[in-house]
Structure formats: C-alpha cells, structure tokens
Structure 1
Amino acid sequence: MLKTCHIYTSLLKCIDFLNKNYIIAYPTEAVFALGCNPDSDDAIINLLKLKNRSKRKGLILVAASYNQLIPYINECRLSDFQKQKIFSLYSGFITFLVPARSNISNWITGFSNLVAVRVTKHPVVKRLCLYYGKPIISTSANFTGMPESRTVKDVLKYFGSDIPILDGNIGNFLYPSKIFNILTGEYVRNAYSKKI
C-alpha cells in the first residue's frame, strides 16, 4: 500500500513508514533508491509490482554495519578467508553476493541460495539503517528498464508524490555499486566511477 506525503520526509517519518511496511525513496551513493522492510513479503511484493521488476532478479539489502546483515547471511558457508575478503573490501562501494539463510524471502534472493548485501558509507542511508535497527531493501527508484533517478524530480516523475522521499543528496558515484560473488571470487557487475 502506498501513502501520499510531502516531497521530503524526515528520518523518523521514513522509519515509521518502513515499520508500517510501506515503500520509501532515499538517496544512495549513486542514485535514489526504493526501500522497504526486508522481513515483510507484502512490502517486497508491492515494491516489485511498483517497479514492474521480475521476482527472479533478487534485491539488495543495504545496512549500516556487517552485524546488521548477519541474520540474513549463512555464515557457516563462508570461510575465514572469504569473511576477511568482505571485511577488506566493504569500505568500498561494493555489493557482495553471499550465502543466504534459508528463512530469507525468495523475493530477496531471486529464488537462489545467495543474497546481495552492502554496508553503506552514505551518511543518510547509514543513519536510516541505524535508527531502523536493521537493513532495508535497496533497488533503484525507477521502472524496470528505465533510467535511474538521480534527482528528486526524477523520483517524482516516476512515482508522483505517492512515495515519501527521505531528505538528502546522492553521493558522488556515477554508476551503481560493483557486485562481487564471494563464493566464485568474480565480479558480476564491475563498472563504477566517481564524479569529477
């Protein structure tokens, strides 16, 4: 269910929306994203419908810290070397594909045994996840196949004022995060650059 609001919404109001299983928009390192409660299938399904996104593509979980991601990661399937690799790289703008716990929604994993996770360095997103107390879904604020939203105006063009937009600016990256499969040691998505 969507809820009408003003263009900008405060942090506490966005957390209230997340707790009610509504969708929000918020700035990330490169683009504006849509997010919702990762533990609510209803919220996730509504987000997928809103974007017209395939249920098989999976979604990213963004968090303030690695500890927030532990309930979603099957750490038993990670070696010490793989964990050290994550810890050594996650200060960069990188999303990791890691083994998923069996209780995670298939809408997040895309019906696979992996979950895409990222520890954010964006101050607005970090604060949002800290106050919310857990990760949130992170997917670009656009319709599938259309250009990403880099401004509030772009978000409004796609969704009107039906979705609350957390006040803040996007970061200085031009493209979405790299995606690194920790099990294979390969980049699934490899290009990003900073604005000059």
Structure 2
Amino acid sequence: MSRTLIAILRGITPPEVEVVGQALVDAGVTMIEVPLNSPDPLASITTLQNRFGDVARIGAGTVLRPSEVAAVAATGARMIVSPNCDPAVIAATVSAGLESYPGVMTPTEAFAAAAAGATALKLFPGELIGPAGLKAMRAVLPSTMPLYAVGGVSADNMATWIEAGAAGFGIGSSLYKPGDSADAVAAKASDIVAAWDAATK
C-alpha cells in the first residue's frame, strides 16, 4: 500500500515553502497541498511544483471556484482539494486533467462527488465523522472510490482509521503549523510516516 499522505501546509509563506517541502519529501511524504487561504498560495504552489513536481504530487487546497482551478492548473500542479462537494469545481478539475479531492460528510455528498468525477473523496471533518462513520460509508460506496480522512488524524489514531477503511489522509497541524521550522516538520513527518508504515505493513 503506497503512502497516500497529503501534507496540508495551511498558512505557509513562499520564502519557507521550499525547505519545508524538502523536509516532507525527504521523510517520504510525496503529496503536498497549499490551501488557497494561505499567504500568496500560488507562488508557494509554483515553487513546490518547480522544485518537487517530478517526485511529488503538488496541489491546492480550499479550492472553492472553477476559476481557482484554472489558476492552479496554470502552475503545473496536479491536485485540487476542496472542503466541500461542488460538482462545478469537480468538473473543472477533471476537464483540466487534474486530480479532484472534494470534501464530503454524508453518503449523499459522497455519491454526488463520485458521479461528478472525483478522483478520491476527502472525508471532512474527520473528527466529527470518526472511524465508525467512515466504516458505515465505506460499506455502501464503490470499493474503487478511495476515502481520505482529514481532520483529527494523528500518528496515534492512524491505524484505527485505516482499519475502518481509510485509503489515505490529509494531515495539517499534526505535520505543519505556521511558523514551524523545517526541522520540526521533518520530525513530525517522520512520526507520521512511521505510523503509516506500521499500520499498513
């Protein structure tokens, strides 16, 4: 099982993004998103794509409008992650040839996102739904549609989520908080990767 761990770098700034990105890639985290409500996000995404695009999947988070999809696509990044299920954003993402990770919280939203062409579903907020809720949704959704838990995921509970059917995770504050040094991110990423490897071996 490949490591499907998306680092969410909410609040990161362009001057620090390359060293933080290097710390993540070195630790084995090869999916990285910069939420669009971060400072100058497209500059950070462009830097990550130019520096790590050949070894990591780079993308944007908190994408709410089709116009934002176009702006991200222009950077060369490949992932569009949203907190909500908007078929127009999903369609724009698919049309641009990018991967779509819309946020869902209910089976109705999950099926709508899948029908619109989502690559995988972002179960958000994960801490409200919990592993039990994920397991119930996993029972009715197509087995080919991956579910990523986002929110409330840490090295301590990752195994429980995987057992419930999580195919991957989006991890924010457990990996990066604004102001964290690259060394701090490297240490946290090492713990997260070790927990993933232990839970999936």
- Shared fold per TM-score greater than 0.5: no
Query: TM-score band (shorter)?
Result: 0.3 to 0.5
User: TM-score of the superposition, structure 2-length normalised?
Assistant: 0.32
User: TM-score of the superposition, structure 1-length normalised?
Assistant: 0.32
Higher RCO, Cα 8 Å, sep 6+: 1
Q: Which has the higher helix share?
A: 2
Q: Which has the higher strand share?
A: 1
